[in-house]
Structure formats: structure tokens, C-alpha cells
Amino acid sequence: MDSSREIEWKQLHDPLHANRRMSRRFGGCEEVSGPIIVGAGPSGLAVAACLKERGIGSIILERSDCIASLWQRKTYGRLRLHLPKQFCELPMMGFPPASPTYPDKREFVEYLEDYAKRFGIRPQFNETVAAAEYDGEIGQWRVRSMGPKEGEKTEYVCQWLVVATGENAEPLVPEIEGMEGFGGPIKHTSMYSSGEEFRGKRVLVVGCGNSGMEVCLDLCNHNAMPSLVVRDTVHVLPRDVLGKSTFGLSMWLLKWLPMRLVDQLLLLAARVMLGDTARLGLKRPKVGPLELKNLNGKTPVLDVGTLAKIKSGDIKIYPGIRRLKPHEVEFLDGRTEKFDAIVLATGYKSNVPTWLKEGSMFSKYDGFPRRAFPNGWKGECGLYAVGFTRRGLLGASIDARRIAEDIKRC
């Protein structure tokens, strides 16, 4: 084989070079022959793998410098999957058999990296999509991105656009009166790594979801003095019941029983194992945990030890915040307490309305598909969404398969 043919053969089988082959210059743009996927999180990887399995190449544009940047750059050290690994697998590849039931942050990132290697997925990193809109004249999507260097811009045209930026693209930071004058550090959980930096300090955690509960537990383990703001009702369930995953047990029961009956069984188990959480300041919604999740996507808290710290008094519960003062917090019930720092466990939001220029598929209010699961994955003119089901990785995997099949039919 002569040198020129050898180079050509190597390039043909090089996954990185495959991305270059998928596009060509066209009127000042990069014309892409396959789909463009925006976001290299688990959802984006799942779509790329499903497409490749069907013989369809794709290009992933990722604003960060790594896959799953939320997990790698914006999560606290003690984080584990809240659900058993079998419910968090991406299509066509399970977790290693030796991995624990609830993989930790490092183990999950390793799984995603192995997944990308297995399917030859090479995202284009440090490329932020600034705008995407459908051009009716040419019948394709125009996607404009910015590189890491000033003035570095690229415009792509493609037939299919997959929005995989997900539900957790940007931190959700509430506006609280007096934040500027509080005087102590106020940070979102996306910037929280460990309770070590708060050792010996009084810390107020705002938000009682799974993240808020776990951050409080982490602060206790580092000898901080945490308190928790609970503004709304919340379902707290044991993570395991009789050695079985509560979520897995729920999925099994739903095969045989109606949702409301399964909810009643879950609440009975929670009452027996955890006691009356309302007495601790954690009032339950009137709607059951599964029905509530199905209605508005609100996930129940799966307790991993925080409730015991609340019962012992190591974690204090407060209602909503009225205003902040210098190193003090005034609550809605009139109490005022001193704190050294505040951690906002207030969740994340979609950023789709900031860059996707269309008005029919995605809501401009919250950046989610207007149609609820299982019908929110497909829009018009080759537009798709993955990772917006409010059903975690299981929902993303379902939509990834549907998207790949639909594009294959085209």
C-alpha cells in the first residue's frame, strides 16, 4: 500500500476524521450531512450512539471541554446516583457487573467515558451554540457557534437538529431581598464541592430536594452546623425497602397495581420506616409521590441519612426566607438567625430559549417541550429533543432510540 493510500485508509477509519468528512464548505457555511446534536451530556451521547448503531453519523457541539460537564465540573464530591444503576444505563451498554448498585460520581463519569469510546463518539468541545434557526428557503437548520478564541465563529447547516442540552443547563438562582448586603459567601450547589470549607460554620441550605438534603448531610459530616429552608411540601421516602430499591419496587408494583394504590403502599412504608415527617417540618403533599412526579416532574427525596440528623437536631428546619441582613436571615415566621454562609440548592433550568429560535416545540417560559412525555421528543422540520422528560436517564434513553429510528426512516 503506497503512502497516500495508507493515509487515506487511516483517515477513513479515524472517528475524529469522520466528523470532518460529515461536513463540507457551502456558501460560507459548514454543510453537515447528518444530524447536529447540541450537548455532550448523557442524553447527547445516547442519541449519537443510537444513530451510529443505525449507520448514521452525527456531530456533537459541546460548550465545555469534556463530556457530561455538569457531572464533572458542577457536582459535589459525595454525589451518587439516586436510583439503582440498571435504571441509569444508556442504550446498548450496561454498567460493569462489579460496580455498586448506586455508582458514585467518579464511577458514573467513567461509565460515560467508556460509553463514548465504545461507540467512537468524539464531540467538538469548547464550541458554544449561540443561535439555531430553521431556514425555510433552503429547508435546513442554520446553527451558529462560537469557539474559545475571540471572534472564532462557525455556521453550520443541517437537516436534523437534536437539542440535548437538557433540564439542567444553567443554575437556577433565586432573587432574595438583601443578598448583596449579607456579607458572607452565597453559592449555588453547582459551585459546592465539599463541606470541608465550611467546617465549624453556620450554614443555611436553601432547597429541600435530594441535593439540599445531601449537602446538609455532607456539612454535618464535616462538623459544620447546617440548617435547611423548606418552603414547600415534600415527599421523603426511604431509598431502600427491605433491601430492595424503592424506585425498583415501585416500577415492579406498577405492572400490577394502579398508581394511586402504589403511592399508598409507598407512603405506608415511609411512615413505618421514617415516622411522621410532618412533625419535623417536612409536610407531605396531598398528591402521592408517583402521581406528583407524573404530573409536574417533582422528584421525591430518597433519604440516605439526612432524616436521622434532622431528628437528632443536628440539622434545623426553617420556613421560607423573607429577607437577608448582614450575616442574618429573617424567615417568614418572624424568626431571625445568624449564619456564616448560604448554599442555594435551588436546582437548574433549561437554557433553550436563549439560543433556539423557534416557537412551536419549546416553551419560552421554561425551555421544555410543550408536549409532555412521551410526546415531547419530536418537533417540526427535523427538530428533536432529548433529556427533557423529567424522568432522568431512563426517559432520555427512551427518547434517544425514538429519535434515531425516526431519522433513519428519513
For residues 280 and 319, state if they share a domain. Answer: yes
- From first CA to last CA, the distance across the chain in angstroms is 38
Residue pointed to by grid coordinates 432573587: 175
76-97 confidence digits (pLDDT tens):
999 999 999 999 999 999 999 9
pLDDT computed for residue 213 by the predictor: 97
For residues 318 and 368, state if they share a domain. Answer: no
Stretch 308-320: mean pLDDT: 96
Domain that holds residue 310: 173-344
Distance CA 343, CA 191 (A): 9
For residues 313 and 358, state if they share a domain. Answer: no
Q: Which of 288, 319, 344 is the last residue of a domain?
A: 344
Distance CA 389, CA 371 (A): 10
pLDDT computed for residue 151 by the predictor: 80
Among the residue ranges 2-6, 20-24, 285-289, the one predicted with the least confidence is: 2-6
What burial letters (b/e) apply to 59-75, b meaning 16+ CB within 10 Å? bbbbbbebbbbbbbebb
For residues 56 and 203, state if they share a domain. Answer: no
For residues 199 and 122, state if they share a domain. Answer: no
Specify the higher pLDDT residue, 297 or 279.
279
Residue pointed to by grid coordinates 411512615: 271
For residues 229 and 269, state if they share a domain. Answer: yes
Residue 27's pLDDT band (cuts 50, 70, 90)? low
92-111 confidence digits (pLDDT tens):
999 999 999 999 999 999 99
For residues 284 and 311, state if they share a domain. Answer: yes
Is residue 8 over pLDDT 70?
no
Among the residue ranges 47-51, 185-189, 239-243, 281-285, the one predicted with the least confidence is: 239-243
Stretch 255-262: mean pLDDT: 96
pLDDT computed for residue 110 by the predictor: 98
Is residue 9 over pLDDT 60?
no
Q: Is the peptide bond before 319 cis (omega within 30 degrees of 0)?
A: no
Mean pLDDT of the chain: 92
Q: Which of 109, 150, 110 is nearest to 128 (CA)?
A: 150
For residues 68 and 146, state if they share a domain. Answer: yes
Residue 18's pLDDT band (cuts 50, 70, 90)? very low
- Based on the structure, what is the number of domains in the chain? 2
Identify the burial level of 181 via C-beta atoms within 10 angstroms of its C-beta, where 0-12 means exposed, 13-18 middle and 19 or more buried.
Answer: exposed
pLDDT computed for residue 70 by the predictor: 96
Distance CA 308, CA 305 (A): 6
Q: Which of 293, 313, 344 is the last residue of a domain?
A: 344
pLDDT computed for residue 19 by the predictor: 47
Residue 298's pLDDT band (cuts 50, 70, 90)? confident
C-alpha cell read off for 362: 419549546
Q: Please, which contacts does 194-199 make with residues 24 or more away whose CB atoms are closer than 8 Å?
A: 194/76, 194/77, 194/78, 194/218, 194/222, 195/219, 195/220, 195/221, 195/222, 195/224, 196/222, 198/222, 198/224, 198/340, 198/341, 199/223, 199/224
Question: Can you say whether the dihedral through the CA atoms of 50, 55, 58, 62 is positive or negative?
Answer: positive
For residues 128 and 200, state if they share a domain. Answer: no
Task: Please answer whether residues 198 and 341 qualify as being in contact, where contact means their C-beta atoms are separated by less than 8 angstroms.
Answer: yes
Q: Any idea what the CATH number is for the domain that residue 363 is in?
A: 3.50.50.60
For residues 329 and 363, state if they share a domain. Answer: no
Stretch 398-410: mean pLDDT: 96
Distance CA 227, CA 316 (A): 5
Helical packing angle, 392-409 and 42-53, nearest 10°: 40
Residue 150's pLDDT band (cuts 50, 70, 90)? confident
Residue 3's pLDDT band (cuts 50, 70, 90)? very low
For residues 164 and 201, state if they share a domain. Answer: no
pLDDT computed for residue 152 by the predictor: 87
pTM assigned to the model: 0.90
pLDDT computed for residue 295 by the predictor: 86
What 3 state SS string does 132-143 have? EEEECCCCEEEE
C-alpha cell read off for 265: 403502599
Q: Which of 344, 368, 401 is the last residue of a domain?
A: 344
Alpha helices in 289-390 (DSSP H): 289-296, 306-312
Task: Tell me 232's DSSP state.
Answer: S
For residues 158 and 213, state if they share a domain. Answer: no
pLDDT computed for residue 148 by the predictor: 87
